[in-house]
Every structure is written in structure tokens, then in C-alpha cells.
Chain A
């Protein structure tokens, strides 16, 4: 647990970067400091490993005032990842990762073995070990940065906008990777970002800060989205708060109909009972080929393209082309054990039938979620008396 007690940082020129900050960073969870530039989020982060010392107040690490700990010793016990990765250009990747173990006096062989282990852990090919940082892509460098921060297995990890310099696709994969790692390692992570979506995706707790270094609100993401404390927080959260909040409501509560269709529409499945698409029934023309072709239960592979041999799981694009050629309509699926209500709603909106197709972990058909079922779940999720 990291505790900020009345922490204020005033710089020499009189600027107040952080103003009387009181908050607690719980052990084993991700706490995100988010806010516009100039809100003191990075300054707050850097006070935790004494890169900056507060002007007033104190910071406790598991109850101990960090000013009583020698800075280098304190820092070796706190992993640190920054935006530009901050890798040492003159050291090979493996030695970059082994930095803190070397500082702690581990012998070289043990430190390097540990570094290789961590490279694998963060999803880096160990063939990169003998390369230099400039030979890696931005995303790979950032992974090395994370591996380096974790090398000596510190209980606390500070991350200062670590993923903001990479492209959106790489950023998403790095975020997912971090969540996966965190599920395994359960570090106490303080993560700084200006991106509210990143904060909501990664944070167990999100601390929204405003310019002038004041804490505006600290809450878990669903509460933050549902009940922003004031106009500033509401504005900073941006649009679509209602929809985004549904990401935190599990889809598990949805009512599922086990029939393979609703009046007017039926679901077409392949041999493995994986959905291929919706088919219009009762005279509604289907778009793909312009003629009506009612689905026959038990013979889902009817049609010229779907017949014959085919690979176990065709690529999505190929399946889509084939489905369109067979006159099938688009569909969306939701895994009730894993996905959120937002995913269920999205799946329903993708299909002209207005229903989502429920599937199991293997992608096999388990039933249909109707608009009515969604409505009921949405009413429960947004209703006032919901626990």
C-alpha cells in the first residue's frame, strides 16, 4: 500500500504541481493517475521513488515514510517504465533487462538467466537478447522496458505513460499484455496516462486529477463512468459514458433462447455448430443473391459454396465472403461467460435480426439473445436499485 498524506509539491518558480494530495494506492492492484497535462500526475508518480521530493506532506510505502529510505535502495525495489522506454543504447537487450539484478549484485549468469526468463514472460523472442535497443521496434522496446522494470521482482511498478508513443494497434496489444501479466503477478502498479480510455481499461482504481495538481475524483471505473463527481470529470470522461459503462457489466445475466431462430430469422450453423449467419425467412428477400432461400434445419451446409471440403476454421474474411455468397446476413456473437453487456449489445446491433448469437468458449452456438432480453438486462444495469 502506498499512501499520500497531504502531499504538496511546489517548484522553485512558485508553480504548484501537486496540491494537498491524499490518496491510497492499494497493494496488488492497478491505480491509474489520469488528467490533462499540467495536472501533476507525473510529479505525483515520481515522488513515489523519490525522483522528486514533496515540499509538504509525506508518502508511506507499506507504512514506512519513504524519506527514511536511501533513494538508490528504494528505487531498486520499485520498477519503473517510461514513455520512451529509456533503454540504455549501449547495452544489449539482455543486459538492459538485467540492469537492476546487476545493481543488486547478482552474478552475471544468474542475472542473464533471469533476464531471458522475463523476455519470454513479456512476449519477446529471446533471439533479440543479443541485439541493441535501436534494432528493435517501438513496441518491442516498450516490452523490454517492462521486462527491465520487473527483473528484480519488485512489489511496486511505476509506469509513466508507457504506451503513448506507439501506434494504436501495438498499444492495445501492450495493454492486453499488461493486464495478462498483472493477473499473474499482482504487482502494486501506479500507471500515469492522459488517455481516459486507457485509464478505464487498465485501472482497478482511477484517480482523475485536474490542472493545479488537485485530485478531482478517485473511484473504480464503473463508478467513475456512472457518477462523475463534477463537470470537469464528466467532461474529461468524454462521450458515450453510458455505453462504455456497459463494458463493466457481465453479459452472464442475459436470458438466452435455445431455439435456432426467431420469427422471420434463423441462424445457420456449420458442422461444428459455429454460426455462419442469419437467414431471412417467410418471403423476406436476402441481399447476397437476390432470391429467397429458407434455411432447412439440420442441413446448414446447403448451398453451392458451403458444400464440399473446407478447413477446420476458415479465416474470418473467407467465411464472410462465403456466407455473403450463400445469401446469409451478418451476425455478432457474445460469450456469456466472458463478455460484457456492451459486447452483447454490439453483437445484436451487428445483425439485421436485432439479436445477438450466444456462443460458448469454442465459438459454438448456445442460443439467441433477443432485443427483449437485452432490454431487460440494460434496465437492470442502469436501474437505480441495482445493488
Chain B
């Protein structure tokens, strides 16, 4: 960085805004899709684990092993299968990371249904499927949403690593700025990633308040 170089060059942002917007959209897609896919897979796996408790520990252990793998290593392993700089190369491992958070969330959520509530549901004459959909799952929502918040925020931050294999959304700005010893793109990247994370989290909190007024009120009671 030169002596006269300001920390942020606004004109650069203005000139490159269309490119930055493209990276932002790419980042959002690669961050959110794994969480949605993860939720889709975690629901049946979580239900199965809650129903047959023997499945729970092996599933969670496996997911924790996956979680412990360095993301970069997984990206590189996937390149021959899905291609360099391809969205899928980033989305697939991030889906597994989401699962590691969401499966326990689903299981814990179902576990948060008080025994006397499930029992009275049975005694009222709910069949198993109806009980799951009308009683167990709605009561699990606050815990599942809490897991969803963690998964979403970590997914948004992890996408950036994909920049090392050529597909990292806003992460590209970090590499670009670092290689050129130019701080503006780095700062723009950081600010946008943080704004994105805060925004997504805020939306989930809002969803939680709208979906589960009974749970919010319970906390303040």
C-alpha cells in the first residue's frame, strides 16, 4: 500500500459495483442452499434418530467427524468430481457442515416436547403421524430455529474459503485485495459478509417470533 493510499477508495467501489453485486448474489446462493438442503436431510434423519435412539450417537459422531475435516481439504477432494470453481464444490461440503448442526437440533427439539404433553396427545387420540405434525414438530420449532441460526451464520462465513478454489462469492474480494495489497476490496468483503450474516440471523429471529409466539412469551414469563 502506498503512502497516499486511503483505507477505502470509494471510487473503486463505484466502478466495480456490478461485479461486487454478482459476487454477493453468488455468496448468498452458496451459503443459503446448503442450509436448506441440510434442513431437508436433517429432518428425516433427526426424526429417525429421535425415534430410534440407537441411531443418534453414530449419526452425530459421523457428522462431527465430517465437521472436523478442514473445508479446504474437502473442496480439493471434490474438485475432480464436481469441477474447479463450480458452485457444487462449495455447496456439497457446506451441506454436511449444516447437517452436523441441524441433526442434533432436530433431535433436541423433539426432545424438548414435555413427556406429559406427548402423553396427553396420545391419550386424546392422536395417531402417530398426526401427533408428529400437529404436536411434536411445532413444539420443536424454537430449538430447530436456534440450530438453523448457527448453521446459517457459519455457512455464510465458510463460503469465503471457496475463493481458494476459485468460487468463494465475496471471498474473492479478500484474495483480490491481498494479492494486490489493496485494502478496499478486503474491507468491502468483510463488511458485506458481516451485514449478510446479521441480516440472515435477524430474519430468522423474526421468523421465530412470528412462528412461535407461545415460546417467546414463555421466556419472558
Residues on A facing B (Cβ under 8 Å): 49, 51, 71-76, 78, 80, 82-91, 99-100, 103, 132-135, 148, 158
Contact = CB atoms under 8 A, between A and B. Distances in A.
B7 interface: no
A80 B127 contact: no
A90 B217 CA distance: 11
B221 interface: yes
Contact of B217 (A73, A99, A134): A134
Main secondary structure on B side of the interface with A: helix
Contacts of A51: 119, 122-123
Main secondary structure on A side of the interface with B: mixed
Contacts of B213: 132
B99 interface: no
Interface residues of B, number: 24
A346 to B, nearest CB: 39
B212 to A, nearest CB: 7
A110 B155 CA distance: 47
A135 B221 contact: yes
Nearest to A73: B125
12 contacts: A51-B123, A74-B125, A76-B125, A82-B116, A88-B139, A89-B215, A90-B141, A100-B124, A103-B130, A132-B218, A134-B221, A148-B124
B67 interface: no
Contact of B125 (A72, A89, A91): A72
B188 interface: no
A103 B138 contact: no
A82 B119 contact: yes
B221 A99 contact: no
Contact of A90 (B123, B127, B130, B139): B139
Given A90-B139, A90-B212, A134 B124 contact: no
A88 B138 CA distance: 10
B56 interface: no
B88 interface: no
B110 to A, nearest CB: 14
Contacts of A75: 122-125
Contacts of B127: 72
A86 B120 contact: yes
Given A90-B212, A103-B124, A158-B123, 17 more contacts: A51-B119, A76-B124, A76-B125, A84-B114, A84-B116, A86-B119, A86-B120, A87-B120, A88-B120, A88-B121, A88-B135, A89-B114, A89-B117, A91-B214, A100-B124, A135-B221, A148-B124
